[in-house]
């Protein structure tokens, strides 16, 4: 019995040390040295503080800002980024036949219409439905274009100027063929804020 217990215990301790301590430390060290920004959550820092993540969508509901894809985080309709804890993300498992999903879509359409009453264009689908993870920080070019008029009016900018900014910050298809062109909502709103700050006040 002892002859079997000793090697089993030593094997357990050795594997625990390798897989539970040495391996995680090694992977963490490599990640911090090779790509520290991504290893730490791809945080976007402005004026010395984290304002969000380039990889996790967050809530924007000011008419002056571009709005991103909703999340089904309950009770809030979005997944909010908490700058204090650097957390705030979750997904959704609402199915397409779930009445709660249809109700959420109707409310989202109503909010978009209320923010821009004169806009009678069709609302792009990604502005009223969450992505598979519920965390997507990007919107389609169509979803950005739908909001250009509202934002230009709210910020006192020319529509063409806001449209050019959307075009400049659009990420094209990977290798020119994979995926769809998208725009990072946080990056877009930060660029708009920077543009406003750079202009002389009247």
For 175-200, what is each residue's pLDDT tens digit? 877 888 999 999 999 999 888 777 76
Q: Which of 44-58, 91-105, 156-170 shows the highest mean pLDDT?
A: 156-170
Strand ranges for 4-137 from DSSP E: 43-46, 49-53
Does residue 108 share a domain with residue 58?
Answer: yes
Does residue 124 share a domain with residue 66?
Answer: yes
Does residue 160 share a domain with residue 128?
Answer: yes
Does residue 170 share a domain with residue 105?
Answer: yes
Does residue 105 share a domain with residue 139?
Answer: yes
Q: What is the pLDDT of residue 142?
A: 94
Q: Which two tokens stand for residue 153?
A: 């009016």
Does residue 138 share a domain with residue 53?
Answer: yes
- What are the C-alpha distances in Å from 96 to residues 52, 101, 129, 130, 176? 29, 7, 10, 11, 31
Does residue 12 share a domain with residue 91?
Answer: no
How far is 145 from 195, CA to CA, in rounded Å? 18
| Structural domain of 5 | 1-40
Q: How many domains does the chain have?
A: 2
Confidence of residue 45 (pLDDT cuts 50, 70, 90): confident
Confidence of residue 86 (pLDDT cuts 50, 70, 90): very low
Does residue 123 share a domain with residue 87?
Answer: yes
Does residue 170 share a domain with residue 127?
Answer: yes
How far is 188 from 191, CA to CA, in rounded Å? 5
- Lowest mean pLDDT, pick from 29-33, 79-83, 111-115, 157-161: 79-83
Q: What is the pLDDT of residue 89?
A: 52
Does residue 75 share a domain with residue 14?
Answer: no
At 118, is the secondary structure helix, strand, or coil?
coil
Q: What is the pLDDT of residue 84?
A: 55
Does residue 52 share a domain with residue 28?
Answer: no
How far is 73 from 65, CA to CA, in rounded Å? 21
Share of the chain above pLDDT 90, in %: 23
Over the stretch 107-161, which tens digit does the pLDDT of each residue have?
Answer: 889 988 988 888 889 999 888 887 777 778 899 999 999 999 999 999 988 899 9
Q: What is the pLDDT of residue 11?
A: 86
Does residue 72 share a domain with residue 16?
Answer: no
């Amino acid at each position: 019995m002892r002859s079997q217990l000793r090697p089993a215990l030593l094997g357990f301790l050795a594997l625990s040390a390798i897989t539970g301590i040495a391996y995680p430390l090694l992977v963490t060290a490599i990640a911090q040295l090779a790509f520290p920004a991504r290893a730490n959550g791809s945080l976007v820092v402005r004026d010395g503080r984290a304002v969000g993540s380039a990889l996790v969508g967050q809530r924007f509901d000011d008419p002056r800002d571009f709005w991103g894809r909703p999340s089904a985080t309950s009770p809030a309709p979005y997944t909010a980024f908490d700058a204090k804890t650097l957390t705030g993300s979750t997904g959704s498992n609402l199915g397409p036949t779930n009445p709660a999903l249809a109700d959420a879509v109707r409310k989202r359409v109503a909010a978009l219409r209320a923010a821009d009453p004169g806009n009678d264009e069709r609302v792009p689908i990604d502005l009223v439905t969450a992505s598979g993870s519920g965390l997507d920080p990007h919107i389609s070019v169509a979803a950005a274009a739908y909001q250009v008029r509202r934002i230009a009016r709210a910020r006192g900018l020319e529509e063409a100027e806001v449209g050019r900014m959307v075009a400049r910050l659009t990420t094209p298809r990977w290798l020119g063929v994979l995926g769809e062109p998208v725009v990072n909502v946080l990056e877009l709103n930060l660029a708009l804020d920077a543009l406003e700050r750079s202009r002389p006040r009247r």
